[in-house]
Amino acid sequence: RATPKVHEHEGTRRNPSNTEGSRTRRNPKEPEQHRRFTSTRTTRRVHEDHTKSARRPHEERTKTTRRVHEDHTKSARRPHEECTKTTRRVHEDHTKSARRPHEECTKTTRRVHEDHTKSAR
């Protein structure tokens, strides 16, 4: 139990002072720049290679993707007007079949409540 608490405290105490100290004292501008440069250079190279090997040239890629999208839209979805019309019809039918007129519903519910109160008490 004691160890994690101490560790947390050390971390919180060390972090702000340590980062400030290391930036100003330990790492003068030159070594920091060197470190940054090497990391960025290598990362960039890796990125470029990966992009070239895995992905086709950008123009081709966009063209093919667009074509696929268009085809998919045409095959899967009907024209927009049709879709909304059918959906609306379905909604209306569903409401009529599933729900009774609002007045009826409230009347029946109230009756049930009243009956229950009378029978239970």
pLDDT digits (tens, 9 = 90+) for 93-112: 555 555 555 555 555 555 55
3-state secondary structure of 57: coil
Spatial neighbors of 83 by CB under 8 A, at least 6 apart, are 77
d(CA 101, CA 98): 10
Buried (b) or exposed (e) across 51-78, using 16+ Cβ within 10 A? eeeeeeeeeeeeeeeeeeeeeeeeeeee
Q: What is the dihedral of CA 106, 112, 114, 116, to 10 degrees?
A: -150
Kindly report, residue by residue over 66-94, the tens digit of the pLDDT.
Answer: 555 555 555 555 555 555 555 555 555 55
pTM assigned to the model? 0.09
